[in-house]
Amino acid sequence: MPSYTVTVATGSQWFAGTDDYVYLSLEGTAGCSERHLLDKPFYNDFERGAVDSYDVTVEEDLGEIQLIKIEKRKYWYQDDWYLKYVTVKTPMGDYLEFPCYRWITDEKEIVLRDGRAKLSRDDKTHILKQHRRKELETRQKMYRWKEWHPGFPLSIDAHSHSDLPRDIQFDNEKGIDFILNYSKAMENLYVNRFMHMFQSSWSDFADFERIFVRISNTISEYVMQHWKEDFMFGYQFLNGCNPVLIRRCTEIPKKFPVTMDMVECSLERNLTLEEEVKQGNIFIVDYELLDGVDANKTDPCTIQYLAAPICLLYKNLENKIVPIAIQLGQKPGPDNPIFLPSDATYDWLLAKIWVRSSDFHIHQTVTHLLRTHLVSEVFSIAMFRQLPAVHPLFKLLVPHMRFTIAINTKAREQLICECGLFDKANATGGGGHVQMVQKAMKDLTYGSLCFPEEIKAKGMESKEDIPYYYYRDDGIKVWEAIKSFAEDVIHIYYESDDVVCEDVELQAFVKDIYVYGMRGVKASGFPKAIRTREKLAEYLTVIIFTTSAQHAAVNFGNSHHRANCGDAGGEGTAPLCSHVLSLWKMCPTAIRTTTVACAWCGVQTKQSHRSLCKHGL
């Protein structure tokens, strides 16, 4: 009688093992086996991290094994089980691996096929075609689209993290990590002293040094020493937490009436401002998106403010980018002056702080939340809905989607929801962050997610002209490496462009992203279909780069900040030097009271312009 050796691997996650009964059936081209109980006498099967082997004897050869069925039935109480994979050694000595990598909950049966990647056209038997179809039908019931807010990309239909399919929830270890990281951060920050200091006005920047006394890092120390200087301010636009806004200025906008007389003392090449623009030495950062966004009004006792600055920068003879003019509003006029390095020291410093504060809001809500998290969730949902686990593109993409939907659901549940952390801590809370996303959607295009194309569109591609733009230099290398890998995978499974066109699952995946995720907006530039291998390689590179490298660039680049400031979600918050005071309202006179806030947590205190200057601001 033929005998098959079955090896079962249980996950190493906490509580991955089970005491339930586990049954296995083999289904081949020549027949099906009976249901076999996988159990060894006097042995605790399916413990966490275990790899257990069993002999399964059948009456006659089953032919080529195509599917295996795993059933879990309750022993004493319901005991979930995380199954990594099952391998089968046939009587002929062949090995087949059936990957699972998911939780088996309740008393249910799951059907697995071997792990070799196959396009739908490669499945020749009815049983495999039917399994493929049923898998997608089941997934589409589990992963449903939902509009969380009008104007947002569609997201997962789940009210809370616990509503998500078990396989994409945070595991216990990840959840504990959040709590431990938060606790460690609070300890590092001396949170009790920190919060106590907010009860009264800060009197000196030494207060911040006392808050961060446990942070020993040469970079943070350097920034704390040099944050006031123009070269550090300009450098952050290239390699800070939000290195995506700066662009080469080709024409001074009419709404920003900077003249040669204003900036002449800042220009070092004996050229006029217009000539400097033509030579490509002038750069601009425009926070127009913040214009008209409502400031946080959730606390009636605290008036909060937002600005929509425009900042002009200059590449000096040392190839450093430095600011030369700042206007804090979008409409020029007597009540909206242009601040210059030649102004009084603290007027110029306050203007730069205003820009840094506005940069924080754009960074968190648009660069980070919308353009990495929400977009990545669109890719993830479409992948689960339209690509079966055996599809080569599912295998390529799924490692980059881990915890994406879970962390976004947590964010909607605790962070950006009504009365969430944004409302409590940010000047854009109370609905302003929602307005920002809605306004930013018009600029969320497929082309803007193509890294080289976006860098070129901003005029920032030249390494010779802009030598210290490491975000660009590293990003291009990572982009090219990802694209090269994607091309290699594509050429294994798609012999021609015709095969790409005929892959109905791929086309459904692309259509899902366009129709639901991007709301079918033609101006977004997202393709409705993919017709060539070249375009497919670019499309996959956009997805992988956005979910991995781009997110890392705008989040983990400030990992030291994140580790010590305790963002429990594992996400970064603000540029380190933005921990210095940010002003929500510029005071035009020395005696007027202004509101001062920490750019990280948004808590405000009152302070007069005169006292700020006296204490070194």
Interatomic CA distance for residues 233 and 227, integer angstroms: 7
Interatomic CA distance for residues 391 and 200, integer angstroms: 60
- φ, ψ at 81 (rounded to 5°): -140, 135
**Residue 561 annotated as part of some ligand binding site:** no
**Residue 17 annotated as part of some ligand binding site:** yes
Interatomic CA distance for residues 590 and 611, integer angstroms: 9
Which tokens is 576 given?
């380190």
Interatomic CA distance for residues 375 and 548, integer angstroms: 12
**Residue 368 annotated as part of some ligand binding site:** yes
Reduced to 3 states, what is the DSSP secondary structure of residue 536? Answer: helix
**Residue 579 annotated as part of some ligand binding site:** no
Alpha-carbon dihedral sign for residues 40, 43, 44, 47: negative
- Provide CB contacts within 8 A for 399, sequence distance 6+: none
Interatomic CA distance for residues 201 and 183, integer angstroms: 26
| Dihedral angle computed from the Cα positions of residues 236, 237, 239 and 242, in that order, rounded to the nearest 10 degrees | 100
**Residue 373 annotated as part of some ligand binding site:** yes
DSSP state of 170: P
Cα-to-chain-centroid distance, residue 502: 32
**Residue for token pair 């900077």:** 258
CB 349 within 8 A of CB 583: no
**Residue 61 annotated as part of some ligand binding site:** no
Q: Which long-range contacts (CB under 8 A, 24 or more apart) does 193-201 make?
A: 198/603, 198/605, 200/605, 201/596, 201/605, 201/606, 201/607, 201/611
Q: Which residues are annotated as a binding site for Fe cation?
A: 368, 373, 551
Q: Which residues are annotated as a binding site?
A: 17, 39, 79-80, 368, 373, 551
Q: Which residues are annotated as a binding site for Ca(2+)?
A: 17, 39, 79-80
